[in-house]
Amino acid sequence: MSETVITYGTFDMFHIGHLNLLRRLEALGDRLIVAVSTDEFNAAKGKRTMIPFEQRAEIVRSIRFVDEVIPEASWDQKLDDVKRHSVNTFAIGDDWKGRFDFLAPHCKVVYLPRTDGVSTTELKRSLNRFCSVSREDVLRAFDVLEQLRRDFA
């Protein structure tokens, strides 16, 4: 009998943590379905994405561990998805621990550890800090680098 695993996520700014999660999920069954949050659903959650849904879905779809990508349009669709796709295992990062235990009567619920030191939220914070550097500061830094290059050439 085929074992189907499902997970959910935004997968914005795809990084090694996402890849590690998908690799571990694939090992839990024979078929991996990934529900990627739509732009509209993210907006309803108060979450702003940098990459549009279709592109995020295509990135996830291209990962060899993933068999199917479906849109996640609401919090409430999970039970319907489990039933519709004959899911044996619902799995997600352990930062959601306990939030999806209501699915346990219908499938196994697994919370996997996150990759240490990697998160989309932290990447976005770093990008915001980087982008907040003034143009003048960037130009001064280039002047310093150019002077160092000349001094050590």
Residues belonging to the active site: 45, 47
Q: How many CB atoms lie within 10 A of CB 41?
A: 19
How many helical (H) and strand (E) elements, i.e. helices and strands, does the chain have?
A: 6, 5
The two structure tokens encoding residue 83: 């039933």
- The whole-angstrom separation of Cα 133 and Cα 138 is 7
- The whole-angstrom separation of Cα 107 and Cα 129 is 42
- The whole-angstrom separation of Cα 86 and Cα 74 is 19
